[in-house]
A and B are shown apart, each in its own frame.
Chain A
């Protein structure tokens, strides 16, 4: 590799906001005080809030400088496994900010909310079509809240049947949110291991599934990047004991237009609009985690539901079996607008093509990098592949060192140390929006880093060198927490 994408550039130091502030400034255009003063009684009045006073220019410069210390998907490849960091189309931003949407109050009479209700209804129909499920709620604010919604439906369903259950099967490869969400609903997560091919087996599920087990949570494709080939058989086993199958759709980007989730036996499935459907991650949210179900679980979905009658939309709370409300209003509508814009621009054929290219990119990386990195499960993968640092053990170079060194080459590191079942895991998900050239550069960077690990290991141990800061003292941060200035 002759020259890396990343180079040095001029960035600025920037103090904390309250170090810039000076009493007497303001960055807000205060509307005219055109009504009589109506002072509140003194007993209600606070002392100064100590928010710093800044001018508009202070604020603009502060945040512009801060932004320059960040790496975003528009700057370069962001191959975080299971996070689906694909390109976030700009037209989606444009339409989400249309005043008719952005300024719409959630308690408007339905006669004045037809446009937005129609949009939400159309998105529900699209998501149902993409997954082959029957009913959709858009209310959950993120994947984890979708899981919570799903687990509450599990609970409501079993109670309705008159037989509450106490356990749930959660594979050891699952995201941490799965066992955490299940616990919130009173279920004891029971771990289950994968086989030598990296997938679940019907036998292992049969050995655990009983009539006190509410069902199973399955991420498919799983976090090793493999399709759970036995999913139908597993679903049959779970159903035969009266249980339900929950699908974590975090990895849906691999199988749009390809896999029929209903045919797989999924009863409930959540999607992440901020992964599969291209809405920006926002540095950690807001996202959205719609939940799709089969027809017979529809009565349990959160209220209000959007109802269409003769082209007129309304919101209905008339679902006596519903688990109730999960969001103060209807969920993250601003995110839904972006996701629908994406789906409409793509159409069914391009959604399928996105999955195909995502899988092609991942397999290309897997085949090229397995020559230099340890690949614990060497099989055709879906949209992501998982390596480990086993080959580097003799030099004591770790996954963390390689990840940090990637930054110096201009790439965001992959997801590291997850899934937990692979020691020193490096989980790479390129997504479909990375070009062959960019992926070739990424592969070349990894090859060079692996070589450096043997010949110049200090380059890795000291990485990154090109960022505003070097590696941080995380132990100090946790030992003596300083969470406010």
Chain B
């Protein structure tokens, strides 16, 4: 086996140095009835070449690049600059552990500090942490954080927060006594916040923008409706590219911002790994979950970076920690940093505008062909359409023609029969879009 370096002679001499007769002797303290009776039933070792062939076969069972997909809904197809996989292949980043030894981890530490900084700027917040697992875990952690601060007992969550994020929140909150109240949506595709003022013990409000229907929410109005001393506004997102163009949540009164960063250069990879992003106002730093990198100096006074405020964390505080998260999504945070650095402030605005304009092109094209656009609120790069009754048959036909025409919504919102969520990003050229409009309406 090529990953081992021990020769039979090495093994003999090591055993003899420790006065053991055989390797089996080293396991003699394991009682017989705890042992495996035979080798695990998995296939015999594969050569590198056979493995590659097998994996290529399985990958070949997935849609090829000939497909045109209009799926979004929390994971987005964006172009990934060639330099990203190249830089991420540097094993100094990928094979390092959590940077607990700062003197030999300054690369990761400076990168994470830069990630925290650029994330704060993109989201319009004061500070960001070093990442959480994914957007759903970031939301759940943000909620626990808000409730630690406000001590409220109720949570108001928009029905237009990603349905899977809401499911994860309900899993993580099942053992608690907090009450989760769902905020319905208005006819224009944004959240109805009229119920908020009647809630007595409201600790946190969660609104996603752009929301699950792609509509841009008026977070400022939500912020002005609540008393921030008692209730924190958590703004959630799944498409951070939007904030290259539209107001970031921090500019609109959000106290905590959290969401999924996959759009920022991370392959979709069937939904994971993603990047849980979390940022907040400075006043809440010591209540944050997850790791934080801070700037300091070394013994010679040279600037350097180190993990800090670790007394919030599980390896120090154990059952009193702000979160149980240890391993997070560090390499994905570095990926997002590389992406943000590559596009830059000017580029991300152009990229966001391009996403918006292409999406509008399809929206208007469909509208012109008589397709109903049920929600009137402005959208970013995805939007809801209502196709004719029985579109599901055509859906199957389009799949055969290598078009994946968006996500049917009735599974998530039974009242939205024949409604589909369509996402259009910079990856499609005008010819693709014209073809798509033609095919779904013919």
Contact = CB atoms under 8 A, between A and B. Distances in A.
A330 interface: yes
A229 B33 contact: no
B100 to A, nearest CB: 8
Interface string A37-66: 110110011111111111010111011101
Query: For B39, B87, B165, which residue has the most chain A Cβ atoms within 10 angstroms?
Result: B39
B283 interface: no
A25 interface: yes
Interface stretch (B20-28, B151-159, B383-391): B20-28
Given A99-B59, A145-B133, A258-B30, A283 B44 contact: no
B13 A63 contact: no
Contacts of A126: 40, 42
Contact of B34 (A36, A47, A182, A232): A232
Interface residues of A, number: 203
Interface string B31-69: 101111101111111101001101111111111110001
B122 A51 contact: yes
Given A283-B105, A477-B294, A485-B113, A31 B354 contact: yes
Contact of B328 (A74, A115, A132, A285): A285
B302 A184 contact: no
B204 interface: no
Query: For A144, A148, A285, A332, which residue has the most chain B Cβ atoms within 10 angstroms?
Result: A285
Interface stretch (A200-208, A335-343, A386-394, A445-453): A335-343
Given A83-B97, A283-B93, A474 B296 contact: yes
Contacts of A37: 357
A103 B77 contact: yes
B338 A59 contact: yes
A345 B45 contact: yes
Contacts of A226: 29
Contact of B75 (A52, A75, A105, A260): A105
Contacts of B190: none
A147 interface: yes
Given A62-B341, A183-B319, A177 B90 contact: no
Nearest to B358: A35
Contacts of A109: 399, 404
A94 B89 CA distance: 10
A69 B343 contact: no
Contacts of B367: none
A89 interface: yes
Contacts of B172: 148, 184, 326
Contacts of B5: 433-438
Given A28-B344, A176-B318, A229-B31, 12 more contacts: A36-B361, A63-B87, A72-B94, A105-B71, A130-B40, A184-B172, A258-B30, A324-B170, A328-B165, A469-B298, A470-B300, A481-B292
* Nearest 6 Cβ contacts at the A-B interface: A329-B271, A100-B59, A115-B61, A282-B331, A106-B271, A347-B45
30 contacts: A17-B337, A27-B344, A29-B81, A30-B354, A31-B429, A45-B245, A47-B251, A49-B122, A51-B343, A54-B341, A63-B93, A71-B92, A95-B59, A100-B61, A103-B267, A104-B268, A105-B268, A116-B270, A119-B58, A283-B334, A285-B98, A328-B135, A329-B272, A330-B270, A347-B42, A352-B39, A367-B18, A407-B104, A482-B294, A482-B295
